Amino acid sequence: MTLHDWQQHWLDHLRGERGLAELTLKNYQRLTAIDLEVLTQQGLTQPEKLDVAMLERLLVGWRRNGLGERTIALKLSAWRTFCDFLLHQGALADNPALSVKAPKIPKRLPKNLDVDSITHLLELPDDDELAIRDGAMMELLYSSGIRLAELVSLDRDSIDLRMGQLRVTGKGSKTRIVPVGRHAIAAIKKWLKVRSNWLATRAELALFISKRLTRISPRTVQQRLNFWGHQQGIIGDLHPHKLRHSFASHLLESSGDLRAVQELLGHANLSTTQIYTHLDFKRLAEVYDSAHPRANKVKK
């Protein structure tokens, strides 16, 4: 099989065996597609010809084309995953991508909105059907801290309005239950009436739909949030990740419970949550001093 054939085999494996989201699969496909075309033009179509020198030439090409360090790191990560698959399939003797040094990426913390900005953002018109839908999406993103991919994959039966709970399928097809706040529940109830009018007798599983009466796309959600961000005077672009980060930051500031925030966000590792919520050392020191038996507590 050619590298193009193996790429499709790899994506099918990630979809079926690993259960990765379609958005993740599209990213893997996009990150490797152009490189495969370049290799084909150079006559490198078989996996056994993949080596460190070839991948380093690709890396030089990425830099020459002006790709940023973050994009280069993502592309190299995709190639490592692809080569690892080829290795396990017996098409490679080793993984050459592991020997290519990835650029160091400075960890940039996403900016969150303060509570007043969130409140102002969510004061949308209640006589516009698109605003009602968009308001419900934003309320849910901020209320539950779910990811964009999780939002668009929600079905109508994913939410229990009576119990105030949401069943979310996250990365790796892992399911978790998260609470939904009263403002989000009220917004979703309004949206469900609009949704019912839009669909009439048509059957549709998706909780959030577009005007074409199909499941809303990630791109549409991003566009609508950015529209309302500018409309409501929010400084900078508004995107789903900013609402997720605001949810985590505000919850952590109020509760100080890092483990709970980790569970709600669906993070596999606590270290991810620490970076995500920019927990500073002062807060960690306060928790240590108040809880650890060997801390320098002030004696009463």
Catalytic residue from among 167, 171, 183, 239: 171
Catalytic residue from among 75, 195, 224, 276: 276
Taking residue 35's Cβ as centre, other Cβ atoms within 10 Å add up to 20
Active site residue 278: no
Active site residue 171: yes
Active site residue 147: yes
Catalytic residue from among 75, 245, 250, 267: 267
Active site residue 267: yes
Catalytic residue from among 147, 242, 245, 250: 147
Alpha-carbon separation of residue 40 from 2, 30, 44, 66, 247 (angstroms): 9, 16, 5, 22, 46
SS3 string of the chain? CCHHHHHHHHHHHHHHCCCCCHHHHHHHHHHHHHHHHHHHHCCCCCHHHCCHHHHHHHHHHHHHCCCCHHHHHHHHHHHHHHHHHHHHCCCCCCCHHHHCCCCCCCCCCCCCCCHHHHHHHCCCCCCCHHHHHHHHHHHHHHHHCCCHHHHHCCEHHHEECCCCEEEEECHHHCEEEEECCHHHHHHHHHHHHHHHHHHCCCCCCECCECCCCCECCHHHHHHHHHHHHHHCCCCCCCCHHHHHHHHHHHHHHHHCCHHHHHHHHCCCCHHHHHHHCCCCHHHHHHHHHHHCCCCCCCCC
CA angle 95, 99, 103 (to 5 degrees): 125
Catalytic residue from among 241, 278, 283, 288: 241
Catalytic residue from among 224, 244, 245, 250: 244
Active site residues: 147, 171, 241, 244, 267, 276
